[in-house]
Amino acid sequence: MKHPRTHLVMASSSHASSRGVSKHNRAETIRSSKPATHPGEPIDPCYRALLETSSSAILLLSPESIILGWNRVAETVSGWIADEALGRSYVELCLPMKARESFLAELARVTEGSDVRGSEIPLLVRTGSQTMLSWNISRVLGTHGGLIGLMAIGTAVVPDTQVEKELRLAHARLRSEARRAQRAAEEERRRIARELHDEFGQALTGLKFDLAWCGMTLTQSPAPTGGGDLLNKVQAMSGSVDALLESVRATAASLRPAMLDDLGLVPALECLATTFQHRTGARCAIDVAPELSSIALPSEVSAALFRIAQELLTNVMRHAAASQVHMRLYQDGARVTLEVTDNGKGITRESMTTPHSFGLRGMQERASLLGGHFHIAGTSGVGTRACASVPVAECFAP
């Protein structure tokens, strides 16, 4: 049954209850099915702001569930506009049969002075579908303590499956963006390495030839006064250029080895092992599965495994005090796995969990971005074993 509607005034006015209000003044009034306990008594303006600006569905109901107030979100969620809903029974209009009794019981509890928090009751949408809302219901009292109505605030309950789906999509987007950032970083490394090699390397090589010419000219010319000192200076400068040229080449190689792009991962790892052995004196052996010597791995995979190997050997050099290091690169199903073991001190659990273990985190992230995993474990006095595995199914397709 639809009850006749009157107006419940939002702002204080001695004659508001007898004054008509047009449809366009809905922001100033809340229509009701019957006068409040104290007719004409103003509702606090904060309730008006809640009704019109909240992101939740907010209703003002009588104890019998007659709709006295109906905000814009309630219109959106239910499909009923305020002009159609005000003055009607909320229970009959918007609740499925099985939920009506429990909702009326909640209203009765609130009318007696209790508050309802987080009561999940479905709302029957105008189209016939249902959406679950979590309701907080409390009394609205006038300035004289009389009951104006019951304020019901409904928030949509998102199903766990939907939350999980959204989380998976968010993780996928995050991983995609991280991979894009990683590719951009590798491309920038490649550009800088190429510039160091081509520009600085060539300039230093030219300077070395000029110094060699100066030295040869000084040697062949009649010795002028102080010619020996000048020749020594030229030779010292040539040595400095040699050292600088070697430093530029090493920096370019560490940024992005040309061998990684030109010849692939296996030769780059072999070069890395040789360089490590020369620097530390520790023996560094590498064992590559035959099937991996004849295939070209994706650029991202090659770069990630090379960076992980580079970081692991750096950690061995700095912390392990090892005399032997063994690298293995092999196929494990549709995955490529890099394993690095040493006979050093053995990494401790504390070292793996310290907030400053950026290198370990970086290796884990590199593998994870490609859908792989990274694991490291150590035994004190025995050594450390690290393993990075990434999927490359397309490389092994029959």
What pLDDT score does 261 carry? 74
Is the pLDDT score of 16 beyond 70? no
Average pLDDT, integer, range 294-323: 88
Q: What is the Cα–Cα distance from 369 to 174, expressed in whole angstroms?
A: 9
Q: Which CATH superfamily is domain 259-398 in?
A: Histidine kinase-like ATPase, C-terminal domain (3.30.565.10)
Is the pLDDT score of 328 beyond 60? yes
* Torsion region of 80: left, alpha or beta (phi above 0 gives left; psi -120 to 50 gives alpha): beta
Residue 345: DSSP 8-state: S
pLDDT digits (tens, 9 = 90+) for 92-117: 999 999 989 989 999 999 998 888 88
Is the pLDDT score of 65 beyond 70? yes
- Read off φ and ψ for residue 265, nearest 5 degrees: -70, -45
**Which of 199-213, 312-326, 377-391 is least confident?**
199-213
Is the pLDDT score of 386 beyond 70? yes
What pLDDT score does 163 carry? 64
What pLDDT score does 89 carry? 92
CATH number, span 6-157: 3.30.450.20
Is the pLDDT score of 30 beyond 70? no
- 149 neighbors 60 (Cβ within 8 angstroms): yes
**Which of 241-250, 272-281, 324-333, 339-348 is least confident?**
241-250
Looking at per-residue pLDDT, the higher value among 269 and 184 belongs to 269
What pLDDT score does 326 carry? 95
Is the pLDDT score of 338 beyond 80? yes
**Residues 6 or more apart in contact with residue 135 via CB below 8 angstroms:** 106, 116, 118, 119, 120, 121, 152, 153, 154
Does residue 248 sit in helix, strand or coil?
Answer: helix
Average pLDDT, integer, range 329-333: 88
Q: What is the Cα–Cα distance from 268 to 371, expressed in whole angstroms?
A: 23
The closest alpha carbon to 21, from 7, 4, 32, belongs to: 7
Looking at per-residue pLDDT, the higher value among 294 and 18 belongs to 294
Looking at per-residue pLDDT, the higher value among 175 and 213 belongs to 213
**Residues 6 or more apart in contact with residue 296 via CB below 8 angstroms:** 264, 395
Instruction: Cite the DSSP H helix spans in the chain.
Output: 45-53, 72-78, 82-85, 90-94, 97-111, 160-195, 201-220, 227-255, 258-262, 265-280, 290-293, 299-315, 349-353, 358-369
| DSSP per-residue string spanning 131-170 | EEEEEEEEEEE-TTS-EEEEEEEEEEPPPHHHHHHHHHHH
What pLDDT score does 45 carry? 66
Pairing verdict, β 324-332 and 283-288: parallel
Average pLDDT, integer, range 253-273: 80
pTM equals: 0.48
Is the pLDDT score of 162 beyond 70? no
Listed ranges 12-21, 179-188, 219-228, 313-322; the one with the highest mean pLDDT: 313-322
Model confidence at 226, in pLDDT bands (50, 70, 90)?
Answer: low
